[in-house]
Structure 1
Amino acid sequence: MDIGKIIKEKRTERNLTQEDLAQQFFVTRQLISKWENGKSYPDLKQVVQLSELFDISLEGLLKEDTGMVKDLSFDIKQKRLFKGLILFLAVISVGVISIFSFFWWVDLTYLEKDDIEITKITKQILPEEVVVVEQTGEEITLPQDVEYTVHFKTNKWLIDLAKISGTNVTSDAEGVEIQIWGHHKLFGAKKESKAVVYSNRDKLLNEEFDSNIGKSLYMYNRKKGAQRFNPQQAKDKDKWPLIKETSDKIADVKSLEKLPVE
């Protein structure tokens, strides 16, 4: 006897209408009719519910209905395949996210003026110094210059600072530009650090000396800096835009001149 006939027989024995049975299974009366006429089959969960309702074993419901067994087997295989596909996609997604997260976390992130709070700036004067060029034995006098140490802190989320997290990268007639950076870290991030503005007077040997004296300090601005050079400007240094046009001022000349020498 196929499962449809068993359902009809057991339903009739219990004086249940198709509508009564449909309400117990939260389906339509038409679906119950299709089960009983062999036009469709209940799913595995519904078969178990039928077994409990009619007090008949699963074997008793299924053993003679080969069509039902094949349909259930196919349904189970489909569900297993679907679960396997979901698991595969989940693994791939986690892998892709992990790769992108790794490169995001290990990469430097540059801070901008609004990301930091300057707590102190100190100044060191470098007096004139006579040095000997090793290659030629010639004596050269390095001119006086000044170096600064910019102490700062940040409250930017997930940013960890090193002992020194910034330095000067370029300068022009009016200003010295510094860049400050950090790394990503979930817990225990260091939030205070310093940026050192070094003198480059040793480049006098290469005729590239550019003193820090009489110049304001500026901080790299990513948005402005991205527009700093076009291909033509990069070839011609005289056409480079001024630092004050591409960075944010953090200390002007007058305030730097008033700093005590340490």
Structure 2
Amino acid sequence: MDIGEQLKRLRLAHKYSQADLALALHVSRQAVSRWENNNVYPSVTTLMDLADLYGLSLSELLKENDYQLVDHLDHAVKWERLSKWGLRIVLVLVVIGGMGASVFAYGRAHQIDVLNRVNPFLSTQISYARVPAKVPTKKEIVRSQNGKHTSQRQVPQPVDVWVPEDRFGGGEWIKVAIGMIPTKTDRYLVLEHKGSYVHRARLIKAESVPKTILPLLGEHYHAYNPAFDGPRVH
């Protein structure tokens, strides 16, 4: 029995007309007729739908036909199923990647240190900045090294420094703790950072700043002003 006869026998056994079967498979009645007359073979997907419709496996659907064809179709079905799962996995990875990229982009724009620290799209940089002549302080309770005593002290607070990246205004304002300014000559800062996350920073003198960078730092320090300076990341 050839494939066309097998498909016709199964259709009649399940009391389907060609039109009814075509409707169930979302194909035309002429397509069903061409299958049964061996003019064309159904697609792998259609054969799978037929097997499901009749409650058979694909091998059972075609068991009386060419075994090489059955084996070929079995492999094709397995490959199609694997391809579907592969596509789903790829889509999931794309969605996760897109969400991750969005999270990192949000962290970059809003200077969320914990995200910038692990952001794979950011590289660690060595940059320079100008610092204020006086660092603001705040009275805080400080515990001694042995942890037995506490006292109130004026503790230096973090300051905003402008860190330029190029000659066209690119850069960002980074909040960094620099401690007290020790001398009048130490008005510059070298910092190792990844976005807004600062690994370490150290006060330096003007002669330690590269000559190509020094003009970008300006002649005087000014604190960050949202109305004047705009967003923190340029």
Please tell me the TM-score bracket, short chain as reference. Answer: 0.3 to 0.5
TM-score w.r.t. length of structure 1: 0.40
Structure with greater Cα Rg: 1
More strand by share: 1
TM-score w.r.t. length of structure 2: 0.43
